[in-house]
Amino acid sequence: MEKQEVNGLGIAGLLFGVFSLLFSALVFPVPLFGGLSVTFSLLSRGGKRMNTIAMVGIVLTIVSVAVALAAAAVMIVYMGDILGLIRELSI
């Protein structure tokens, strides 16, 4: 088995994937961190096969987008309930 060389762009993609997953419950940072993760991971290829670190960064980004979409859906559902409760209490 060949030893893979360290790729700075792949590591940057992985780090931004981790940041994207960590902040996915906040929903808003996901497009920024996720976009940077995918960009750096794809740039790390350099015409060669993508290394494992960059691939993990992309997978983390996909997971964080799914979590962010779920969090956004929950926020939308409960925001309507909260606004309705506020309207009832203010009357």
Please report, rounded to a whole number, the percentage of residues in the chain having pLDDT higher than 70: 92
Counting the structural domains of the chain, the total is 1
Residue 35 domain-assigned (yes or no): yes
Instruction: Evaluate whether residue 1 is within a structural domain.
Output: no
Which residues constitute the domain of residue 71? 8-90
Domain assignment present for residue 2? The answer is no
Measured CA to CA, the distance from residue 65 to residue 89 in angstroms comes to 36
Q: Examine residue 24 and state whether it is found in any structural domain, yes or no.
A: yes
pLDDT in tens, 34-63: 999 999 999 988 888 888 888 999 999 999
- Prediction pTM value: 0.77
Whether 36 is covered by a domain: the verdict is yes
Asked, for residue 75, whether it belongs to a domain, the answer is yes
**CA of 1: how far to CAs of 4, 17, 45, in Å?**
9, 27, 19
Q: Is residue 3 part of a domain?
A: no
